[in-house]
Amino acid sequence: MKITQGWLSASTQLVSPNTDQRPDEADISLLVVHSISLPPEQFGGPYVGQLFSNCLDPNQHPYFADIAHLKVSSHLLIDRLGNITQFVPFDQRAWHAGVSEFEGRDSCNDFSIGIEMEGADNIAYTDAQYDMLTAVTQVLLEAYPLITRERIVGHMDIAPGRKTDPGPAFDWARYKSALN
């Protein structure tokens, strides 16, 4: 697995329009782990890709009526089987963190990479997801040396009170101990 021109070789590409230039491409220094499932607590299907591509049908599910208008994206999605979809190249800013702050700096999208895990706060993640997240993280740590183990956080860490993902079901100890 390698990164070429911002794209991860092991990923399926589904380009999101919800991206723009980073203020400083050399300042990629934070990795943010998220979770997402559409509809909530349901897995599989095209809905996350549709949301990140601005083509989610608000009539497809009642929950979608409240979110179909959002302009959001993430760099990567790791599904329940461990498959990776990349929406935004790493050298560009994805719109995943929203109002956020880390170590006194706000606007975390400016300097972070966002990885969505297909999941929900209180549903265990799969072995395949942990294995792939670990492999991807190793590649990112090598490619972006400003990201350190201490600079790998959850969405809840940079948007406390507003976000709870990846939630208590995410095994941080397992993930961090698997990193070399």
Q: Which residues are catalytic?
A: 116
Instruction: Check residue 87 and give its pLDDT.
Output: 98
Instruction: Check residue 180 and give its pLDDT.
Output: 72
DSSP-derived pairing of the beta strands 76-78 and 84-86: antiparallel
Convert the pLDDT of each residue in 101-157 to its tens digit: 999 999 999 999 999 999 999 999 999 999 999 999 999 999 999 999 999 999 999
CATH value at residue 99 = 3.40.80.10
Instruction: Check residue 1 and give its pLDDT.
Output: 95
pLDDT-derived band of residue 86, with 50, 70 and 90 as boundaries? very high
Which residues have C-beta within 8 Å of that of residue 54, sequence separation ≥ 6? 16, 17, 18, 71
- Provide the 3-class DSSP secondary structure of residue 21: strand
What share of the chain in percent tops pLDDT 90?
98
Which helix (DSSP H) or strand (DSSP E) does residue 19 occupy?
Answer: strand 19-21
Instruction: Check residue 47 and give its pLDDT.
Output: 98
Asked whether the predicted pLDDT for residue 175 surpasses 90, the reply is: yes
Which residues have C-beta within 8 Å of that of residue 26, sequence separation ≥ 6? none
| Structural domain boundaries, residue 63 | 3-178
What share of the chain in percent tops pLDDT 70?
100
Number of domain units in the chain: 1
DSSP-derived pairing of the beta strands 152-154 and 30-36: parallel
Instruction: Check residue 142 and give its pLDDT.
Output: 97
Q: Are 57 and 47 in contact (CB under 8 A)?
A: no
